[in-house]
Homo-oligomer: A and B are copies of this chain.
Amino acid sequence: MAKIHEVARAAGVSISTVSYALSGKRPIAPETRRRIEEAARELDYQPNAGARMLAGRRTQIFALTEPFRADTHAPAHMAFVLATSIAARKYEYDILLLTEEEASAGMRRVASSGLADGVLVLDVAPDDERVALARRIALPCVFIGVPDDHEGLVCVDLDFEAAAALAVDRLADLGHRSIGLIGHPPASYVRSNFPPRVRRGLEGRAAELGVDCAVVLPEADGPRRTPVRAAVRELVEGGATALVLHCDDTSHAVALDELAALGRRVPDDVSVVSVGATFDTSAFHPPIDSVPLVPSASCELAVELAMRMVDGGDVPAAVHLIAPEYRAHGSTAPPPSASA
């Protein structure tokens, strides 16, 4: 709770010199700077947040709007919140949490009270109500996810189409001619923005390559995940030699379990690739190849763009897609027919 004038007195300089020394905005003699820094350290000086906001026109705060919908997949979203927070701290920014109904009312409030320098929008729905708001408020907004109508917005996201296509490429390269997708529950294809993109990417690239492609979207249910098991059986018995998984971690585990129950070995009998997972697919038995969704990648880019906007740099209003990356863990191989 030391104040700047105490530091100034301790260092034998004026208040403004302290400010310039600490911000580096004007040249200060090395010896003077040293004294000031030492005094600041000894007094445990931290500039008062309110005063800084008022005088500096910078709050050093980003608002994070996160609706926490009932169907929000908690672990994944926690990972995004965490990644955002860590990315922001690298620029000395803090995160103010705006939840629920507050996601919209809060955005407005934060904008007009000048509580934050920018807004990061998480858990984006295809028809997100925050889109309209983002266009209206005079605050940099970055969407992590892509709403249907994203004109004039700055969005960041994994290139899900390319991610799915990458998985298809890999499998096709190995000689697979028939692959199956186990997706999220059907409801997710309405509420979230990315499941349809994975499906599109997969089917599109499969068509380009002349690869057969079946899609099953198992309903969500209890711990038995019966629909997932049924999906695995359906696809494998239908002749698929490779499975692409785009679903939650439990479904991954259940799918592997079902393959084992069917006596199909991975990767000898069936190849498996995960697309868009935020969890660690190398921890499964067996470890699974993955084209992951990396929260820190999206969040770091989002924060970087937000910072540029705050600093007055101009950032193209566009969807900034992050290139996918294939992580091999040994769950893919040529199909049995090819080696036979």
Contact = CB atoms under 8 A, between A and B. Distances in A.
Contacts of A257: 222-224
Contacts of A112: 1-2, 44-46
A82 B96 contact: no
Interface centre among A47, A50, A53 (most CB of B within 10 A): A50
A48 B44 contact: no
Given A52-B50, A94-B115, A96-B94, A74 B78 contact: yes
A46 B105 CA distance: 13
A54 B44 contact: no
Contacts of A44: 112
A238 interface: no
A102 interface: yes
Interface in A221-265: 222-225, 250, 253-254, 257
Report copies per complex.
2
Given A97-B85, A99-B86, A257-B224, A54 B50 contact: yes
A81 B97 contact: yes
A33 interface: no
Contacts of A46: 109, 112-113
Nearest to A102: B89
Nearest to A75: B74
A253 to B, nearest CB: 4
Given A78-B78, A82-B100, A250-B250, 8 more contacts: A46-B109, A48-B54, A49-B114, A75-B75, A77-B78, A94-B115, A223-B223, A223-B225
Q: What 7 A-B pairs have minimum CB-CB distances, sorted nearest first?
A: A50-B53, A50-B54, A74-B75, A46-B113, A223-B253, A74-B74, A49-B115
Interface of A: 1-2, 44-54, 59, 61, 64, 68, 72, 74-75, 77-78, 81-82, 85-86, 89, 94-100, 102, 106, 109-110, 112-115, 138, 222-225, 250, 253-254, 257, 285
